Amino acid sequence: MGQVVALDSLLHSRQVWQGRAAPVPATTQPTGWPALDAALPTGGWPEHAMTEILLPADGVGELQLVLPTLARLTREGRPVVVISPPYVPYVAGWEARGVVMSGVDIVQADEQDVLWAAEQCLRSASCAAVLAWPVHADDRSLRRLQVAADTGKALAFVFRDRRHAVQASPAALRLELESTPAWQVRVRKCRGGNPPVGAVPLASGWS
Amino acid sequence: MLWACILLPQLALDGVLRRRPPSDEPLVLVSGPAQARIVHAANVPARAAGIYRGQRLIAAQALLQQFEMVEHDAEDEARWHRLLAAWAYRYSAEVGLYAHAVVLEVSRSLNLFGPWPRFESLLRDDLQELGFRHRVALAPTPHAAYVLAGVQDGLAVVAPEMLRDALSPVPVARARLPVEATQGLPSMGIRTLGQVFKLPRAGLQRRFGAELVAQIDRLTGDEPTPMDSYRPPDAFEQRMEWTHEIEHVEALVFPLRRLTGDLAAYLAGRDGGVQRFELELEHRSGPPTRVTVGMLAAARDASLLFDCARGRLERLALHQPVLAMRLVARDLPPFVPAGRDLFDTRPVNAVPLEQLRERLRARLGEQAIRHLHRTVDPRPEKAQSDMAHVKAATKPETLPRPTWLLDTPRPLRGPPPDVLAGPERIETGWWDGGDIRRDYYVVRTSQGQCAWVFCAPGEQGGWMLHGWFA
């Protein structure tokens, strides 16, 4: 305790967190869900980064969450890649939500190639958004995707089972979908701010 | 007229060197009969040890203990020569082949590629990339360019009236005149071309024949040069052979890069593309292994071709060592370059979408990428297709449709669901035997998922799950 350190020097060395985060610039990628946009610190999807979406089961509205974004991107003529989806994308349903299907590449990859394909697409910088359903993804491989999304300036959406929620994740945004009692989404982690405490209810609708 | 001459002093050696990774090991090309082997060419490390062209092989072996020997193959050299002519065809419609040199008419090419210094560096960059040592000269006649390239690298004579001055100091021995003149003139005390120009023509003709006078006239441009213009062939075929056996696919990557690079140079020359080419790996015995590389659209970018071929090659398991590799491209459709937006905001190092697709297909399989479109068929199983020939629907679908579809319907498990909407009867398909008769409902499961299910007409139970409103 003999050494006295001046407070100023400590603060200037930027090793002390002062609790005021730098303001995060607003994103240009709104989610299409006003309630969710309001809850996220950037006001939409984190740009050039990975978003992890955790699901309790298949078919609980995970596509509804991203389809407004895909519709906006494909209408602007920007390509979207869907890598090894669990089911066949049904064109009529996607088109009803405004997606231009000619701009969507559906890639069939084996389990071990999903992450490779996703990384290639993200890194190429010619895809606006990449959706992937990896079966086995560890912290390292997800970090690679995050870096690739940053390099390629693309939106990455990774859909995984809810049981992976306990794992740490390098994703910039982590959402957990809940279908009961109502359709809502919980923000587990978000870069640039504290996650909102409660769940964000989304307007339920199947059509 | 302006002619550029590209002299290739080491054509045979470069042809051998470029098929192997760069190294500092001495290497010597040998030729001649078995009793009197002589050095045909030597690379830089071998030359540094004192080995020179024309030396007896025994003398070379006395100078250097260990060096690699490769048999000189005149046919191989001619093949490289033709490849470079095909490459030069990209820059000019008139290309001629001289011994160890390629000449091309460039007066009109300069309008397109910029002034000579810029055009020259363009040529040099390409040759550097292809891996050929070269000397370049420019002159108003092809023969003068050929002579000047042999004298000094980078010489450019643009004006015809300057040509005689530029040629005057050239020694007779290097003027590429007929053999007897080359030997006879110096013994008469005539050592430079300038002195030859001053001699009376009648005397020259009487002493050395009409051939020498005609040659001098072609050199100075007083008479046009007859030239067999090169025409590129309609198929590309290139082969690389090694003295050792290659057992791993990884070792084929470097030669493959060369082969695809040559193919790209050839395609650029004839302004075409390639959609499908074959790699043949030749073994000591048995039929060659064939790898077919197909692409979605005609392409000619060197890195794209290399990527595609490499992806196919890496999936290959070699059962036998490889002795030679051949690249054959017969189907060469016209190439339509992809347009790129002037205001494209993508980063500079972006991989084009076409190249990305080829890369994915190379590793994941030919059918890995699908584009679905809606068809006019009302049956859910046939309501969409990735076949281009299946007619696409134009009217938007107004009925509720899910976003996920199951390949085959399966029974819906769990407690009875709540019916949200329905029924919608789909009863059709009698014309092709695949007729169906179903009532479709939208239901909510106990887990909160919205499902698209069907059951037999008139019933509400025995649900078959066919899609998710995800």
With beta carbons under 8 A apart, name residues in chain A contacting B397: 92, 95-96
Of A57, A79, A96, the CB nearest to B401: A96
Q: Count the domains in chain A.
A: 1
> At which residue do the structure tokens 């305790």 appear?
A1
Residue among A124, A153, A159 with most chain B CBs within 10 A, to mutate: A124
Question: Would you state the pLDDT for residue A99?
Answer: 92
CATH of the domain at A130: 3.40.50.300
Q: Across the interface, do B353 and A64 touch by the CB < 8 Å criterion?
A: no
Q: Domain B236-329, what architecture?
A: 2-Layer Sandwich (3.30)
The whole-angstrom separation of Cα B469 and Cα B406 is 12
Query: Where along chain B do its domains lie?
Result: 3-25+67-220, 236-329, 400-468
Which residues of chain B lie closer than 8 angstroms to A185, CB-CB?
none
The answer to whether A150 touches A177, Cβ cutoff 8 Å, is no
Q: pLDDT, tens digit, for every residue of B24-62?
A: 888 888 888 888 889 888 888 888 888 888 888 888 888
| Residues B146-173, mean pLDDT to the nearest whole number | 89
In a domain, residue A143? The reply is yes
Nearest to A127 by CA among A158, A149, A97: A149
DSSP one-letter string for B32-98 = S-SSS-EEEEE-HHHHHTT--TT-BHHHHHHH-S--EEEE--HHHHHHHHHHHHHHHTTT-S-EEEE
Q: Is the peptide bond before B9 cis (omega within 30 degrees of 0)?
A: no
| Residue A59 placed within a domain | yes
- Residue A171 touches chain B, beta carbons under 8 Å: no
Q: Are strands A173-178 and A184-190 parallel, antiparallel or unpaired?
A: antiparallel
CA angle, B172 as apex, B170 and B178 as ends, to 5°?
130
Q: Is the pLDDT of residue A1 over 60?
A: no
Q: Is residue A7 included in any domain, yes or no? A: no
Domain-embedded: residue A4: no
State mean pLDDT over A166-183: 87
Closest Cα to residue B470, out of A76, A72, A97?
A: A97
- Contact across the interface for B351 and A124, Cβ inside 8 Å: yes
Nearest to B396 among A95, A124, A207 (CB): A95
Distance of alpha carbon A143 from alpha carbon A156, whole angstroms = 12
pLDDT tens profile B8-25: 988 888 888 887 778 888
A127 touches chain B (CB under 8 A): yes
Interatomic CA distance for residues A112 and B195, integer angstroms = 77
Q: How confident is the model at residue B225 (pLDDT cuts 50, 70, 90)?
A: confident
pLDDT tens by residue, A67-94: 999 999 999 999 999 999 999 999 999 9
Interface check A124 vs B, CB under 8 A: yes
What's CA B262's distance to the chain center, in Å?
4
Q: Determine, for residues A117 and B360 on separate chains, whether the beta-carbon distance falls below 8 Å.
A: yes
> What pLDDT sits at residue B317?
82
Taking the CA atoms of B156, B161, B165 and B171 in sequence, report the sign of the dihedral they define: positive
Chain B residue numbers with beta carbons less than 8 Å from the beta carbon of A121 are 356, 360
What single-letter amino acid sits at B329? A
CB-based contact A102 B373, cutoff 8 Å: yes
Q: Which domain holds residue A80?
A: 42-201
A with B: how many residue pairs have Cβ under 8 Å apart? 166
Q: Given B347, B367, B470, which is nearest A63 (Cβ)?
A: B470
Q: How far is CA B338 from the centre of its chain?
A: 18
At A19 the pLDDT is 66
Mean pLDDT of A15-41: 78
Structural contact between residues B17 and B43, judged by C-beta atoms closer than 8 angstroms: yes
Question: Given this model, what pLDDT does residue A104 score?
Answer: 94
Q: Which residue of A has its CA nearest to B376?
A: A92
B344: closest chain A residue by CA = A126
